[in-house]
Amino acid sequence: MDGLRYPIKLAARESGLSEYVVRIWEQRYGAVEPDRTDTNRRLYTPEQVDRLRLLRELTRAGHPISRVAKLPTEELRELVLGAGADRTVPALVSKETPGTAAMIDDCLAAIKSLNGPALEAALLRGETVLGGFGLLQRVVAPLVQTIGDLWRQGELTAAREHFATAALRVFLGNASRPFGSVGKGPVIVVGTPAGQVHELGALLASATAANLGWRIAYLGPSLPAAEIAGAAQEGCARAVALSLVYPEDDPGLEFELKRLRKALPQNTALLVGGRAAAAYSKAVKAVGAMLIKDLVQFGSVLEKLRKRAENKDGSRGPG
């Protein structure tokens, strides 16, 4: 057997996928056909790793893996180039992918029955069909919003809301782990400002940014402006992303935003999103921060910031 071959761990890392997804895409959809060693270990060619990377890009852009898995590699490459010529994340079609509602229902059923393995299994099934970014956009984001709505309406107990938060924290934390090329990516600091104690929106933002090649400095919920700014300065962050979920009428938030913007370097972008963000739109605009309405916009903004950073760094020339 001639030529370079990648074991599955390295193939997954280089393509930006998990080993689990690589196996499922191979077994269920025939995306690639790796060679095998005498001990039955998978070995992938560079061309197959490139194909997996292209499939990841397309599923991240909203193409169901079932529709693109068996397309010729050159056709995959043309689709990627056509969809992302300006390196922005294309807007997803408004019509739901068949089965998306059922995925969300499966997750809710697992949460209501306090069944952690069932919740993880439902999320992993969604990831194999929709890809990483598709899962975040089409399943996890509406799931998080539904959990919040049910809790506020008294239809979901606090215990189940905490259970869902803990389970999704683990899943989204794993989704935020850096991919193979992320070590060279820009840094984004993610968290919630003082008084904002719900962190699922921040975890969702972290996972989205990681899918787009950013290095994540996740700070968790309810941190003072000085702590957030200190982390951004120490990490030379290109951006700070804040999630505002609850409450929607915190009188101290405007002050926190002003303190944070004043403490951050001028070239550090400040992005503010979450279901409660619109309630603070006046304060967000007053400090020159960007109000983010959804994950698609968040992804597009991050890609533009990254491209701007790459162009700036490249213009400096060698050493």
Q: What one-character-per-residue DSSP string does 46-95 give?
A: HHHHHHHHHHHHHHHTT--HHHHTTS-HHHHHHHHHHH-TTSPPPPPPSS
Q: Same domain for 161 and 245? A: no
Q: Same domain for 161 and 278? A: no
Q: Same domain for 29 and 75? A: yes
Query: What pLDDT was estimated at residue 96?
Result: 43
Binning pLDDT at 50, 70 and 90, where does residue 308 land? confident
Assigned domain for 302 exists: yes
Q: If you average pLDDT over every residue of the chain, what do you get?
A: 85
pTM of the model: 0.69
Query: What pLDDT was estimated at residue 168?
Result: 92
Q: Is the pLDDT of residue 137 over 60?
A: yes
Q: Same domain for 222 and 296? A: yes
Q: Same domain for 190 and 301? A: yes
Q: Same domain for 216 and 129? A: no
Query: What pLDDT was estimated at residue 181?
Result: 40
Q: Is the pLDDT of residue 20 over 60?
A: yes
Assigned domain for 37 exists: yes
Handedness of CA 296, 302, 305, 308 (dihedral sign): negative
Q: Is the pLDDT of residue 24 over 90?
A: no
Residue with more model confidence, 93 or 245:
245
Binning pLDDT at 50, 70 and 90, where does residue 162 land? very high
Question: Tens digit of pLDDT for each residue in 34-63?
Answer: 999 989 899 999 999 999 989 988 887 777
Average pLDDT over residues 289-305: 91
Q: How many CB atoms lie within 10 A of CB 263?
A: 16
Domain boundary among 83, 118, 152: 83
Q: Same domain for 220 and 302? A: yes
Query: What pLDDT was estimated at residue 280?
Result: 95
Residue 232 CA to its chain's centroid (Å): 19
If you average pLDDT over each of 94-98, 114-118, 199-203, which comes out highest?
A: 114-118
Query: What pLDDT was estimated at residue 23?
Result: 87
Q: Is the pLDDT of residue 201 over 60?
A: yes
Q: Same domain for 310 and 189? A: yes
Domain boundary among 20, 52, 83: 83
Query: What pLDDT was estimated at residue 125?
Result: 87
Domain with 167 in it: what CATH number?
1.10.1240.10
Domain boundary among 175, 207, 232: 175
Residue 266 CA to its chain's centroid (Å): 25
Q: Same domain for 189 and 238? A: yes
Q: Are 69 and 55 in contact (CB under 8 A)?
A: yes
Domain with 290 in it: what CATH number?
3.40.50.280
Question: Tens digit of pLDDT for each residue in 251-281?
Answer: 999 999 999 999 999 999 999 999 899 999 9
Assigned domain for 208 exists: yes
Q: Are 142 and 96 in contact (CB under 8 A)?
A: no
Average pLDDT over residues 172-197: 77
Domain with 56 in it: what CATH number?
1.10.1660.10
Angle CA 220–144–277, to nearest 5: 65
Domain count, the chain: 3
Query: What pLDDT was estimated at residue 157?
Result: 94
Tokens encoding 154:
């008294």
Binning pLDDT at 50, 70 and 90, where does residue 180 land? very low
Average pLDDT over residues 239-245: 96
Q: Same domain for 138 and 258? A: no
Average pLDDT over residues 81-90: 47
Q: Is residue 41 packed enough to be buried (19+ CB in 10 Å), middle (13-18) or exposed (0-12)?
A: exposed
Query: What pLDDT was estimated at residue 177?
Result: 63
Assigned domain for 93 exists: no
Q: Is the pLDDT of residue 90 over 50?
A: no
Full domain range(s) for residue 15: 6-83
